Amino acid sequence: MTLANGTKLGPYEITGAIGSGGMGEVYRAKDTRLDRVIAIKVLPDHLASRAELRERFEREAKTIASLNHPHICTLYDIGQHGGTDYLVMEYLEGETLAERLKKGPLPLEQVLCYSIEIADALDKAHRKGITHRDLKPGNIMLTKSGTKLLDFGLAKLRGPQAAVANLSALPTEGSGLTAQGTILGTLQYMAPEQLEGKEVDARTDIFAFGVVVYEMATGKKAFEGKSQASLMAKILETDPPPMSSLQPMTPPALDRVVKTCLAKEPDNRWQTARDLCRELKWISESGGKHFDAAATAAPVGKNWLKTALGAAAAMAACILVGLAVWFLRPAAPKTVTRFAMSLPP
């Protein structure tokens, strides 16, 4: 449904539409009590009509509202008015990362800055037991104060499985290819375990994070296909080209970080967003110029013969110069000795 300007949902007055998706419509609104601009997401009828989903959502929303982090969009309130369920969120000015990527890859400095902020936000959520499950450029807002991670309201809480399906188990729509049915999220950013319908955890978000960083640095999606089936096969079976092959100025250390994020098996990825964030900070503080041991070992091994030959040639040249100096030095002047002797008669 579409809400006209001036429509009131409790104390909130709609002032304009922002966007829409499979999980609802988002509007710009005014909080008439606090006189501030906010964003309201109206839940679609197929979710709001089920009492058990609303109950489950309210429990999750209370936990998500406790996420106080500078790079997570704040959830202020939830409510119902005239049979319409809605979320009240922080209003953000800026553009999504998806919109920015239409212009091409980001400079390395921005890639590292945004990556650190997003990883830090994920760490905060994961420590609260919340897995996002739909991390993608369209859910990252770029503002004057930095990045803001959106749509934690559809995340999954860690703990025993609920007796009923929760909101995060339902399909979403996005700008890319999406799966319909029981798979959540936009396919290009989904981890293999999501595609296979297995249990997900924080490491699932870390895979999606790697895909996002890859796209920020190269301007290309890590996984692409002409159909859902071919795209899913790519995610399950193949690795994307190294970022440095598409963007030569990419530091090898950053290439290694993203490659680890994109490991097919969750056990082979970074295990926590905190460790990931720490690694990215190290790369950023070093100016992106440091090479890790694995990156430097290969070139040294390949070029050992060339290095040895160069050293031998230099030594031979030194010897030849020494010999030339020795043999071509000027001869020392001869000493003349004089003496007198008396002859016998």
How far is Cα 225 from Cα 221, in angstroms, rounded to an integer? 10
Q: Using the 8-state DSSP alphabet, how is residue 77 labeled? A: E
> Edge-to-edge strand order for the sheet containing 84-90?
8-9, 12-21, 24-31, 36-42, 84-90, 75-81
Q: Please say whether the beta carbons of 30 and 141 come within 8 A.
A: no
User: What six digits make up the tokens of 152?
Assistant: 């934690």
Match 């964003």 to its residue by tokens: 39
| Nearest residue to 281 (alpha-carbon basis) of 68, 119, 146 | 119
Is 134 a known active-site residue? yes
Catalytic residue among 134, 151, 201, 255: 134
Strand partners, 84: 81
Q: Please say whether the beta carbons of 27 and 42 come within 8 A.
A: yes
Q: Please say whether the beta carbons of 275 and 242 come within 8 A.
A: no
Q: From residue 59, give the alpha-carbon distance in Å to each of 153, 169, 202.
A: 11, 15, 20
Q: Using the 8-state DSSP alphabet, how is residue 152 labeled? A: G
Match 């692409």 to its residue by tokens: 224
Residues 6+ apart with CB under 8 A from 152: 64, 67, 72, 73, 75, 125, 130, 132
How far is Cα 179 from Cα 214, in angstroms, rounded to an integer? 22
How far is Cα 284 from Cα 308, in angstroms, rounded to an integer? 35
Q: Using the 8-state DSSP alphabet, how is residue 39 labeled? A: E
Q: Please say whether the beta carbons of 194 and 184 come within 8 A.
A: yes
How far is Cα 129 from Cα 138, in angstroms, rounded to an integer? 23
User: Which active-site residues does the annotation give?
Assistant: 134
